[in-house]
Amino acid sequence: MKQVGIWLDKQEANVVELDKGKERFYNIPSELEFFNPKGGSRSKTKWGPQDVVQDSKYLEREKHQLKKYFETIAEKISGADRIGIFGPAETPDRFLEALKQNHPDLADKVKATETVDSMSQNQFKALVKRSFGLDDRYPDGN
């Protein structure tokens, strides 16, 4: 049984695959552009008009890039039997929603979701094992 844990944010996804006692760890970069729109500019006259920054343009671009990022992750984990999704903020929830919309078969395999901050590779592996009841200290799952 192939079990996959994913820790993701907008920068990268770290993936741990557990399959028949073997562990495989790999990273999927997001390739998201980080937009830092500058404020509008002032007119040369004292009370003249201001240029307006169109946030919707940036948000729309980010939405499309996130969709591509989530599709890449879904491709990589398509052979999983059980999936756990972890990460900070709302990115894991957005990924789960994308799975439900575009890959319902994968969404059905999600057994664990949890909001967690960044952690080391070993801490992440321990979290995934604990989530699937495979903790080394407690082999029977208790």
User: Over its length of 142 residues, how does the chain's per-residue pLDDT go in tens digits?
Assistant: 899 999 999 999 999 999 988 999 999 999 888 766 555 555 566 666 566 667 788 888 889 999 999 999 999 999 999 999 999 989 999 999 999 999 999 999 999 999 999 899 999 999 999 999 876 554 444 4
Reading the block at residue 121, the tokens are: 């590779």
64 found inside a domain: yes
CATH assignment at residue 82: 3.30.420.60
Q: What does pTM read for this prediction?
A: 0.80
Reading the block at residue 37, the tokens are: 């729109």
Cα-Cα-Cα-Cα dihedral sign, residues 26, 71, 102, 33: positive
69 found inside a domain: yes
The total of structural domains in the chain comes to 1
pLDDT at site 49: 59
pLDDT at site 75: 96
45 found inside a domain: no
Measured CA to CA, the distance from residue 19 to residue 11 in angstroms comes to: 26
71 found inside a domain: yes
